[in-house]
C-alpha cells in the first residue's frame, strides 16, 4: 500500500501542468540515476546496426520559451518540457521543417493553424525567439535512427509532441516491451541533455534560412 502511494506521489511530482510522460522518464526526472537502466539497450542497438550504415542521425526541435533556466544548470524535466518534435534524417533534414514554416508564413497558408508543428515554429518566431535544433545520435544507419527516434517518442509520449505519428521499430526492438522502449528513450534524453549543455543554445531565425534545401539556395537579397 505504501509503495503504491509512493509511486503515485512520485508520478505526480514529475507531471508538468497535467502533462504525463512515460513512467520511466518521470522516475528519471526525480532520480537521474534511473536513466542509466537504458544503457544496455543502447549498447544492443549499436551492436545490431553497426554495419548497416552511417548517414543518419536523430534531432529534437526545442522551444526556447520553455527553457527558463541557465543551460548549464538545466535538469531533465526542464529539458524535456522544451521538446516539441522528434525526428530522424540525414544532411539538412531538420531545416526542412523550418523552411516549410517560413514558406507557409509568406503564403499566409491555413496550414500554420492546422498543423501543430508549423504553428509552434511560427509562434516561436512571432515571439522574437529562434527555434533550437539539437542533433543527436550522429553517424548511424537509417534502421538504427528509426529505433532511436521511436524510443524517444515512446519516452516523451506522442501526445506531448507535435509529431503526427509514433516511431517505427526495427530489428530486435520489435520484441521489446513498452517499458524497455521507454527506458531506452529516457537514456537517450539524458545523453541529449548533455549534448545541449556542451553545445549551448543556438536558435535559428527565419532570416537565416535558405529558400530551399535541394539544392541549397541563397537567402533573398544575399
Domain total in the chain: 1
> What does the alpha-carbon distance between residue 74 and residue 78 come to, in Å, rounded to a whole number?
6
> What does the alpha-carbon distance between residue 204 and residue 138 come to, in Å, rounded to a whole number?
20
pTM of the model: 0.88
Per-residue pLDDT of the chain in tens (222 residues, 90 and over written 9): 334 433 553 444 444 456 699 999 999 999 999 999 999 999 999 999 999 999 999 999 999 999 877 899 999 999 999 999 999 999 999 999 999 999 999 999 999 999 999 999 999 999 999 999 999 999 999 999 999 999 999 999 999 999 999 999 999 999 999 999 999 999 999 999 999 999 999 999 999 999 887 654 444 443
Does residue 179 belong to any structural domain of this protein? Answer: yes
Does residue 177 belong to any structural domain of this protein? Answer: yes
> What range defines the domain where residue 116 resides?
36-207
Does residue 29 belong to any structural domain of this protein? Answer: no
Nearest CA-CA partner of 90 in 135, 25, 121 = 135
**What's the pLDDT score for residue 217?**
44
Does residue 219 belong to any structural domain of this protein? Answer: no
| CB 140 within 8 Å of CB 148 | yes
Amino acid at each position: 500500500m505504501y509503495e503504491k502511494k509512493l509511486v503515485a506521489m512520485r508520478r505526480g511530482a514529475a507531471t508538468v501542468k497535467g502533462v504525463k510522460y512515460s513512467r520511466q522518464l518521470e522516475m528519471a526526472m526525480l532520480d537521474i540515476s534511473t536513466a542509466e537502466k537504458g544503457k544496455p539497450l543502447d549498447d544492443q542497438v549499436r551492436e545490431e546496426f553497426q554495419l548497416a550504415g552511417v548517414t543518419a542521425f536523430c534531432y529534437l526541435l526545442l522551444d526556447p520559451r520553455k527553457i527558463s533556466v541557465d543551460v548549464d544548470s538545466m535538469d531533465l524535466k526542464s529539458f524535456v518540457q522544451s521538446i516539441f518534435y522528434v525526428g530522424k534524417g540525414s544532411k539538412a533534414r531538420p531545416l526542412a521543417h523550418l523552411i516549410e514554416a517560413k514558406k507557409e508564413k509568406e503564403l499566409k497558408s491555413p496550414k500554420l493553424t492546422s498543423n501543430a508543428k508549423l504553428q509552434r515554429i511560427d509562434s516561436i518566431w512571432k515571439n522574437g525567439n529562434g527555434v533550437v535544433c539539437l542533433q543527436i545520435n550522429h553517424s548511424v544507419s537509417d534502421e538504427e535512427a528509426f529505433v532511436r527516434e521511436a524510443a524517444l517518442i515512446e519516452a516523451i509520449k506522442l501526445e506531448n509532441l507535435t509529431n503526427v505519428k509514433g516511431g517505427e521499430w526495427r530489428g530486435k526492438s520489435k520484441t521489446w516491451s513498452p517499458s524497455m522502449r521507454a527506458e531506452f528513450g529516457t537514456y537517450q534524453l539524458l545523453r541529449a541533455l548533455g549534448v545541449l549543455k556542451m553545445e549551448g543554445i543556438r536558435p535559428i531565425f527565419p532570416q537565416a534560412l535558405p529558400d530551399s534545401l535541394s539544392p541549397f539556395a541563397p537567402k533573398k537579397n544575399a
